[in-house]
Amino acid sequence: MSSRNTAVFAVPAPLWDTDPMLDALAARDIAQLFRLVQRETKVSQSHLGVAVGLSQAQVSEIIGGSRRVSSIDVLTRIASGLGMSSRARITLMLGDRNRTTATVPFEAGSAGQQTTDQEFTARYGDVEAVYPSRSEFTSRMPPHDLFDNATDIRAVGLSLNLICQQYADSQLAQLAQNGARLRLLFLDPAGNAIRQREIEEDMTAGTLGALTTLNLQGVLRVRDRLPADIRDRIEVATYDQTIRANITLINDSLCIAQHYLPHARGVESPTMVIKKRWPAAGLYHVFERTFDELWSGGHPR
């Protein structure tokens, strides 16, 4: 009998809805996740490893605390190998149990569990990928892959480095010359919100303001160099509200959402890639509405 066959075990569906499990998932505490699964199923470390595509040594290191799991590929493999419910999977991927509905215990295979899974698929099924940091995201999805063929770009955030620092000015100008429309909303470099963010990141006053001013001036320079009759294809504005996320919407079909976490640099925060799948449902429309609301209150430059 193969090791794969000997590793067959089932995690009881109600386990995914318990508070200790949801807390472990939200914290991405895979060591605690494995301990809870072992306590419930009595599965060995070797069989647990086979189920999730890890060696026994790796499982042992994770449980012992000497190895941490941050790779989205590994998290996805663990979620699939253990047969996580949609609720549990989303909590793990978003790292936040508050984004899910209140926990209600269901029997495995019950109509209630099926309905809950369907609701979560409808709400979060447009999430294509989640990366633990912006640097890992850009290594997998470089800006030229995102923007080279874009016809519509809407972005709101702090300094909009994805566009202003990682995509050449000449390429931005070429997009506009090819007919693309860009709406770019920067955090006001002289506002209160950007100073608050500097305090959160323990930065010297004016650091983020200077970077944002540099990016803002760069985009305005690109716009001013365009022929007069197409300058309105690049619209620029500023806002002064607490920064929650960088949101980039491309061609009315793809959303890049990069969250800001307290006391962490933006580059260290997770990035979600979301593809529009439905006319109204899904996370894409949540972020699109956020952009629209902020843009409507922005100050044109």
pLDDT of residue 107: 43
Set out the domains of the chain in order of their start, with CATH numbers: 3-124 (no CATH), 134-300 (3.30.870.10)
- At residue 129, does pLDDT exceed 50? yes
Confidence of residue 52 (pLDDT cuts 50, 70, 90): confident
- At residue 128, does pLDDT exceed 50? yes
Per residue in 162-216, pLDDT tens? Answer: 999 999 999 999 999 999 999 999 999 999 999 999 998 888 999 999 999 999 9
pLDDT of residue 73: 67
Average pLDDT over the chain, rounded to an integer: 85
pLDDT of residue 290: 94
pLDDT of residue 81: 86
- At residue 2, does pLDDT exceed 90? no
- At residue 94, does pLDDT exceed 50? yes
How far is CA 127 from its chain centroid? 8
Confidence of residue 101 (pLDDT cuts 50, 70, 90): very low
- At residue 1, does pLDDT exceed 80? no
- At residue 105, does pLDDT exceed 50? no
CA distance 265 to 207: 13
